[in-house]
Structure 1
Amino acid sequence: MSIQRKDNPERQTKSNYLWEDPPDEDKFSACVHCGMCLESCPTYLETGHEHQSPRGRVHLIKAVAQGRIELNAGFEDPIFTCLDCRACETACPSGVQVGSLIEQARGQIRKSIPLTGWKAAVSKFFLRGVFPHPNRLHTLGNLIKLYQKSGMQTLVRGMGLLKIMPQHLQNMEAVMPEVKDPVRKKYPEIIPAEGQRKMRVALLTGCVMDVMFGDINEATIRVLVRNGYEVVVPRDQRCCGALHVHAGDRDEGKRLARQNIDAFLAAGVDKIVVNAAGCGCALKEYPELLHSDPEYGPKAAEFAGKIEDVSAFLLNHGYQKPQGTVKTRVTYHDACHLAHGQGVRREPRELLRDIPGVEMVDMPYADRCCGSAGIYNITNPDMAGKVLDEKMSYVPEDVDLISMGNPGCMLQMAVGVRKHGRSAKVVHTIQLLDRAYQAEGESGK
């Protein structure tokens, strides 16, 4: 890796971050380079290279701020090969917010070194042209549904046409879930609670979640109303912006954040429930994203105070333990942005243990990244594949289900199951709780 150094001593204190939202000096200065983060970092464990470690990246971020190295391609590589999994933050005794520093640095890089060619076209099409627009997302979902149900998928697979795609995309197509109707199209804006209403909550439907995993959103709604919560599905909500911020497009991330803040605060709800780990983490970090916005900074703080992952929400505010039996052996995978980003570890496991018939099997290193990391498994398939192989080595052999709380992880782990010849199915934790409630009716309880 080549990083151009600056030898002019007069420029040693002049930052090479020239745009809004540079990496926060208070954050990178907190790093004492102790190395406690090294064994938690997937890319360092894979490469052994210092610049692919959290403290190495923080050192580089600091060096750019001090004018000692350029904001160039040599700096871009280690910053964008980071999975932004936040495992280093859990390990760090100094509390260095590496994830925030990485995202701020990426924003500076994309201002200095914009994407070009096909990468720019793909990024513009999907990140700005599709994900922020629900109707376009639903159209994409309908096209995928047509592909699956018309026989076209069977034909394409049978003729071997998928072989023209890169292997990692072939793997994803092979485990693509059956696309269902999105909740935003299927349900009214307000779904009343069963029995006496305990609280009024909003549901973030998400972009990928509602298009690819609409059944998880449906299960979430059923569980919430079953437990006495009125559910609001704001029609003006948009993609959370996590993918944009991770990719360095902070301007679009901020625009989406402002729109979501307006949509959810106008809904008049007590809490905003999220069933996707990456989305929940991004929503909670809106105050930092909008810290320089005099109008939306205070609104972002109010908004973030309402965000709760669905598992934590149920444990914190009450739910009825199911009586229906789901006889199965389950292991649990900690999604990075749930465990490291939000500190939610105990709650999903408690929900699973409360289901009659569920036998929990511990997974060693359950909070190690699976390699999904938003769209990292698409942009960095080689490293993502190595991280996934390592993750699968920890998944117990004798389980029926692998439970988790993030759609990206579900797709990635499904690829791992198929690749390694496992028989376990991948499920969202809330789906198992929903299944137990449905089993009550089947058994007459």
Structure 2
Amino acid sequence: MIAMQHDIPLDRSGPNADAMAEAVSTCIRCGFCLSACPTYDVMQRESDSPRGRIILMKEVLEGAMPADKAAPHLDACLGCLACEPACPSGVSYRHLLSPYRSLVRDRVSAAWPQRLQRWLTAQTLPYPNRFRFAARMGVIGKKFSALLPSVLRPMLELLPSSLPTAKPLQDHYAASGEQVGRVALLAGCAQQVLAPGINVATIAVLRHIGLEVVVPPEQSCCGALAWHVGDGERAAKFARNNVRAFSSDQQPIDAIVTNAAGCGSGMQEYGMILRGTDVESQAKALAATVKDVSVVVCEHADRLRLKRPSFVHEAEAIVRVAYHDACHLANAQGVRLQPREVLCRIPDVELVDVGESHLCCGSAGTYNLDQPETADELGRRKAKAVLATGAPIVVSGNIGCLTQLQTHLNSMATEAHPAPRVMHTMEFLNACLVESPSP
């Protein structure tokens, strides 16, 4: 093996080495991924395309290039996986990007402001109580943002002007009416602080279709935020805890339900995150039970009793609703049809797609903190595409997307043309239930 920087060879014998090697070797450099890649669309550089990044990772893994030199292009990757459905060769980019980032994490240097931002993110976002405190301080700090380091300002800009009231969850919710199944819910992290109503709506919809819902009290962050930035050790810690927490129930469950696209795809990768550990087989088994809430609801769609949304003025005969595909729902989990099928069941609702649906909105976990300029450009483009639909309501299945859409739609709003209402799919569906179970 050729020596790396500092004459220390890179260890490529890790648990994900074979999957990484297969992903690299499968790429035939055809270029179909270029038109699907948001960062290539913005930057127009080969090194900022999936094909270019695979070549860079190959060079680093083979010792022909120092990790620091490739880092700016790999850091600029959203991890949206839009390249996967576009690839005719079936390159599993997900099996390469996060393991690679984890492998070279200690090889890549960063300036102190960036290290501070990453440390603050890692210490707050995955922990709802810490994040709630930090967010409250951030709301106050927005008044003095000009005095703060520039690297911290994007964190404040994404915060709302005020935080909603916390909505603590019970450990158990009985099905409404006849019980047809039993599921466990991942409560999420930042979502509990920024939009606690999403979990409330999710539980109401699941109960409405006859599902008993348990919320394991010892669950933690899913680990996706850490995994996607290459902090494999922290991701494995969270994943291991959740394997234990969601496996501790004495009664069987039909599925682990997630209502945030990034969290769902993160949990579905537990077999990769915990590969080579003593709980690998258990992690794989658990990952196979993880389903997005829209999939579960679609499976029981015949039990839905729906009416037109109560908050829409009666004068509007048709309720036009734009649906935004969250990348980690559409690309990582392959869930595109189920949310649409459920929403199309609602009386008087006309569902419309958002233009350039293959392009990420720029949220992508902590991407809008790590790469604010690119994230801002993608956010503006997505907001313009939403406005072009003319829909007064836009729905999606991921808290990061909802936050990004709200931020950029608000920035474009005028008194004559107010911003569309931004809602989670389950929030909109809950507003259309004939009978919504009380918490």
Change (3 A) 1:176 1:430: farther
CA deviation string 1:393-414 (max 9, x = no partner)? 3223511111100000001011
Change (3 A) 1:145 1:16: closer
The aligned counterpart of 2:260 is 276
Aligned residues: 415
Determine the C-alpha separation between the residues in 1 that align with 2:107 and 2:12.
Answer: 9
The aligned counterpart of 1:316 is 299
Change (3 A) 1:114 1:298: farther
For 2:395, what is the secondary structure of its paired residue? Answer: strand
Instruction: Report the AA paired with residue 75 of structure 1.
Output: A
Residue 209 of structure 1 deviates from its aligned partner by 1.4
Instruction: Report the AA paired with residue 399 of structure 2.
Output: P
The aligned counterpart of 1:241 is 223
TM-score (norm 1): 0.86
The aligned counterpart of 1:297 is 280
Aligned residue among 90, 97, 100 for 2:85: 90
Residue 18 of structure 1 deviates from its aligned partner by 5.3
The aligned counterpart of 2:315 is none
Residue 113 of structure 1 deviates from its aligned partner by 2.6
Residue 139 of structure 1 deviates from its aligned partner by 4.8
Determine the C-alpha separation between the residues in 1 that align with 2:162 and 2:350.
Answer: 25
Contact 1:373 1:408 (8 Å CA) reproduced = yes
For 1:371, what is the secondary structure of its paired residue? Answer: coil
Instruction: Report the AA paired with residue 255 of structure 2.
Output: K
Aligned residue among 350, 361, 371 for 1:359: 350
Residue 168 of structure 1 deviates from its aligned partner by 3.8
Change (3 A) 1:434 1:296: same
The alignment's C-alpha RMSD in Å is: 2.7
CA deviation string 1:286-328 (max 9, x = no partner)? 11111211x2110011101110000011112445233322243
CA deviation string 1:334-392 (max 9, x = no partner)? 00000000000011111111111222223222232000010110111001111122223
For 2:353, what is the secondary structure of its paired residue? Answer: coil
Determine the C-alpha separation between the residues in 1 that align with 2:93 and 2:301.
Answer: 34
The aligned counterpart of 1:46 is 42
The aligned counterpart of 1:430 is 426
CA deviation string 1:94-141 (max 9, x = no partner)? 1111133111121122122355634334433431x33454xxx22542
Residue 24 of structure 1 deviates from its aligned partner by 1.3
The aligned counterpart of 1:3 is none
Change (3 A) 1:233 1:201: same
The aligned counterpart of 1:408 is 400
**Which stretch shows the higher mean deviation, 114-123 or 221-230?**
114-123
Alignment of 1:72-151 (within 5 A): 73-113=68-108, 115=110, 117-127=112-122, 129-133=123-127, 137-141=128-132, 144=135
Change (3 A) 1:274 1:86: same
The aligned counterpart of 2:25 is 29
Contact 1:85 1:340 (8 Å CA) reproduced = yes
Change (3 A) 1:51 1:335: same
Residue 163 of structure 1 deviates from its aligned partner by 4.3
Structure 1 runs not aligned, ≥5 long: 1-5
Instruction: Report the AA paired with residue 49 of structure 1.
Output: R
Determine the C-alpha separation between the residues in 2 that align with 1:189 and 1:336.
Answer: 30
Determine the C-alpha separation between the residues in 2 that align with 1:9 and 1:15.
Answer: 5
Identity between Structure 1 and Structure 2 (%) = 33
CA deviation string 1:247-284 (max 9, x = no partner)? 11100100110100110011242210100000000000
Instruction: Report the AA paired with residue 172 of structure 1.
Output: L
Residue 145 of structure 1 deviates from its aligned partner by 6.0
For 1:206, what is the secondary structure of its paired residue? Answer: coil
Residue 169 of structure 1 deviates from its aligned partner by 4.3
Alignment of 1:120-199 (within 5 A): 120-127=115-122, 129-133=123-127, 137-141=128-132, 144=135, 160-164=143-147, 166=150, 168-169=154-155, 171-173=157-159, 175=160, 178-182=163-167, 186-199=168-181
Determine the C-alpha separation between the residues in 1 that align with 2:55 and 2:208.
Answer: 50
Contact 1:132 1:256 (8 Å CA) reproduced = no
Aligned residue among 204, 227, 232 for 1:250: 232
